[in-house]
Copies of this chain bind each other. A is one copy, B any other.
Amino acid sequence: MALNRARIAVDAMGGDYAPDEIVAGALQAQDELGAEVLLVGDPAAIEASLQRHDRSSDEVQIIASEGAVEMHEEALTGIKRKPNASINVAMNLVKQGEADGVVSAGHSGASMASALLRLGRLAGIDRPAIGAVFPTMNPNKSVLLLDVGAIVDCRPKFLEQFALLGTVYSQYVLGRDEPRVGLLNIGEEACKGNELALRTYELLQNNPRIPFVGNAEGRDVLSGDFDVIVCDGFVGNVLLKFAEAVGNILLQLCQDELLQGLDERDLDHVMPNLKRLKQRIDYVEHGGGLLLGVAGVCVIGHGSSHAMTIFNAVRLAKEAVDNRVIERIQEKHLVEQ
């Protein structure tokens, strides 16, 4: 465990609600999680935001950057054209050892590109993956799905590497001694699937360092039977966004249908339950995705992140730092070289 407080560089300029929601979530994380937050962005904008939150610039470190990669920009071009953009400055802090991790809700392609260029890939990893932690039916168990959008045309060996990354993450961050690793597929049997799944199945089955237990169908993702599920970034991204939306839709349906005709006394009894239900199924509260496979901790949040999401993203980054997930992956010499 880290002897010092984890230092998390937060990209204050990234995201639809930057800087106000980002600053609010980052401060809350610093207050409540014991992380040290470094706000990266335009100092004037950050200070104005701090004032709006009745906070002082003495309470948090501000690291100056110039501009940000905009959503409409091509990721790599933006990263290169703006070397002092907030995401680049944040990554540099990690590279220079001045921060232990980065959180950004900005252009996710740009975050990935910046991480790859500035931090580099871990040995034995061809492509990084974004891992998303989903709640499952089992309140005490979550599942890591990866990749959810980094690499949309995967080769079997990429998925094999994702499985190795996921295994270590699950062991050291999610605390699963013997994680159950699955391959997202359209059937349970080894003979099922598309070309990618069929070839990946073989690799996973023959790799002694992967605790592979077989195929996971769509219905198994939230069952709690798997700790890690690998898939290509196209499928994972569609699934992640569907899952987020369906949570919200079902909460809406609950409100529409369940509260009909209830009187005040009923509502007094039901509303606290509805609120608890909301907390359990609201994916937004579960933070962002961890970029696994680069040489540093990097959490990629939604563009639409509000303060609570940023708070959870900082927590995710802090957990990865405290549990030394990057070092663990390196120690494991994950992939034969």
Chain A residues at the B interface, C-beta cutoff of 8 Å = 137, 149, 152-153, 184-186, 193-195, 197, 217-223, 231-235, 237-247, 249-250, 252-254, 257-263, 265-266, 269-270, 273-274, 276-277, 280-281
- The distance in angstroms between the C-alpha atoms of A237 and B235, with both chains bound, is 10
A150 to chain B, nearest CB (A): 11
Query: Given A152-B186, A186-B234, A246-B246, A241 and B253 touching (CB < 8 A)?
Result: no
A245 touches B221 (CB 8 A): yes
Q: A238 to chain B: which residues have CB within 8 Å?
A: 184-186, 217-218, 231, 235, 239
Q: List 27 A-B contacts (CB under 8 A).
A: A152-B186, A152-B193, A152-B197, A184-B238, A186-B238, A186-B241, A194-B232, A197-B234, A217-B238, A218-B238, A218-B240, A218-B242, A218-B243, A219-B244, A220-B245, A221-B242, A222-B245, A222-B249, A223-B245, A239-B239, A243-B246, A254-B254, A254-B258, A257-B273, A258-B277, A259-B273, A265-B265
A281 touches B245 (CB 8 A): no
Which residue of chain B is the closest to A184 with respect to CB atoms?
B238
B242 touches A219 (CB 8 A): yes
Q: A277 to chain B: which residues have CB within 8 Å?
A: 253-254, 257-258
A258 touches B237 (CB 8 A): no
Which residue of chain B is the closest to A232 with respect to CB atoms?
B194
